[in-house]
Amino acid sequence: MKEIVFATNNQHKLNELRAIVGDRFRILSLAEIGCHDDIPETADTLEGNALMKARYVKEHYGYDCFADDTGLMVDALGGAPGVYSARYAGPGHDSVANVNLLLKNMEGKTDRSARFITVIALIMGDEEYTFEGRVEGHILTERHGEAGFGYDPIFQPVESDCSFACMSSEAKNAISHRGRATAKLVKKLTE
C-alpha cells in the first residue's frame, strides 16, 4: 500500500482522513515518521504555510506529504484573524480567548459576513498541488452550541440556521471548508 504523510499530529484530522481514504493509502502522522520538530509556519498566506509544512517533511524525511492550514476571514475586520486565526488572542492563548476577542472586536458591527478557508498542499514525487475549500457565513453576536472546536460556536454557515457548534460532525463536514478541500485532495489521491 502507498504511504503518505499528513503533516499533523491532530488525531481528529487523522481519523477523518483515514476513514475517507480507506485502504487506498496508508496515512502516517508526524509522530509515526519520528518527526517531533517544530515545523515553521511563518508565511503570511494559508497556501504559503501549507506548502511550507509539506515541503519541510518532503525535504527532511523524504516522504510524499500533504499539509493543511485554515483561517477565518471576517470582512468587517479587513480579513482578520485570517492566517493568524490560531493565535489571534496572542501566543499561548486558547480558543476561548480567541472567540472572546473576536466577539469584542465585532461589537457594533452590522456587516458580520465571514468565511472559513482551508488550503491543503500536496507533494507527490516532484509535483506540488494545492486545494482550497471555503464556506461562507456570518459571525454571531454570542456563542451557540456545544459541539466542534475553535470558532465553531460563533460561525453560522449560509447553508444552516444554526452555528457549526450546533451541527453533527457529519453535517459540518459535508459543507465545511476542510470537508471541501479534503474532497479535492482525496479525488487527486485516488484518481
**H/E stretch holding 52:** helix 46-61
> Exactly one of 38, 44, 68, 69 is catalytic; which is it?
69
Minimum CB separation of residue 94 from ligand IMP in Å reads 9
- Tell me which residue has its CB nearest to ligand IMP: 150
Residue by residue, DSSP assigns 91-131 as TT--HHHHHHHHHHHTTT-S--EEEEEEEEEEEETTEEEEE
CA dihedral sign of residues 8, 10, 11, 12: negative
Number of residues that bind ligand IMP (CB under 6 A): 14
Q: Is 69 marked active-site?
A: yes
**H/E stretch holding 135:** strand 127-139
Of residues 145-174, which lie at the interface with ligand IMP (CB under 6 A)? Answer: 148-152, 164
If binding is defined by CB under 6 A, does position 182 make contact with ligand IMP? Answer: no
Per CB under 6 A, the list member of 56, 65, 80, 85 interacting with ligand IMP is 85
Using CB under 6 A, list all residues that contact ligand IMP.
69-70, 85-86, 95, 98, 148-152, 164, 176, 178
